[in-house]
Structure formats: C-alpha cells, structure tokens
C-alpha cells in the first residue's frame, strides 16, 4: 500500500483506520444502522468489499457482515496482546476491521468493519 498516496484522498479519521489500523469508537459509524440495498466499497481505493445482503445487526457497535466479496483478504494480527484475524482490502491493503467465528449462518463469520473504511453505493 502506498500510504502517502492513499492518505491524500482520506479524512484524518479514515487515514487512521485504513493506514494505521485504528478502530473507530463503537456505535459511532454512519453506516452502522444503514439498511439500504447496495454495495460497500473500500473508502481508499473503491474496491467492492461487501454486499448489503450479507449485513446483519451484531449489536457490537460496528457494521457486521457474515460474508465478504472476493476482494477481501485476511491476515494474522497479534497487536494489543492477543491474536485476531485482520480484514484488509485485497487491492490497496487498507485495514477494514477484524473477522470472528461468532457470526450467523450460513458462514458463522462476523466481519466487524469500521464505517470509516467503507463507502456505500445504493443499488
């Protein structure tokens, strides 16, 4: 990821999440309660990441999805003294959030994603 090139396109808050792996405060994201049909894309590069059809209310304070599109990749994250699975944009490498194994069927996954890392387009 060319962080400097990406940072120029983002707000300081988006840059902190996408480039520096920060986490937005729970229940603060503008896309948390979005129930419209459409596609969630990377705020840094525009790559499509999640469909609204996979979004669900996890009650955790961040937009949650049970399935990602193929443009999402994962990596081991050992920050904060624990092991988690980081979710990243496959195109630009931007940090999106983390994925957990406590989601609903059919996948059992909960992609816990920062609103600041996403853009939404209605269908």
Catalytic residues: 112
- pLDDT tens-digit map of 42-72: 999 999 999 999 999 999 999 999 999 999 9
- pLDDT above 90 for 9: no
CA distance 6 to 16: 11
Ordered by start, the domain boundaries in the chain are 3-122
Query: In which band, very low, low, confident or very high, does the pLDDT at 6 lie, cut at 50, 70 and 90?
Result: confident
Burial grade of 43 (CB within 10 A; 0-12, 13-18, 19 or more): buried
CATH 2.170.150.20 matches 3-122: yes
Residues 76-90 pLDDT 10s:
999 889 999 999 999
Q: What is the pTM of this model?
A: 0.94
């Amino acid at each position: 990821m060319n962080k400097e090139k990406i940072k120029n396109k983002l707000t300081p808050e988006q840059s902190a999440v996408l480039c520096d792996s920060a986490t937005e405060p729970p229940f603060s994201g503008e896309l948390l309660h979005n129930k419209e049909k459409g596609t969630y894309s990377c705020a840094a590069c525009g790559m499509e990441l999640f469909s609204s059809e996979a979004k669900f209310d996890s009650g955790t304070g961040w937009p949650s999805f049970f399935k990602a599109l193929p443009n999402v990749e994962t990596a081991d994250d050992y920050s904060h003294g624990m092991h988690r699975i980081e979710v990243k944009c496959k195109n630009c490498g931007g940090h999106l959030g983390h994925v957990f194994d406590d989601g609903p069927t059919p996948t059992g996954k909960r992609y816990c994603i920062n609103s600041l890392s996403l853009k939404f387009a209605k269908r």
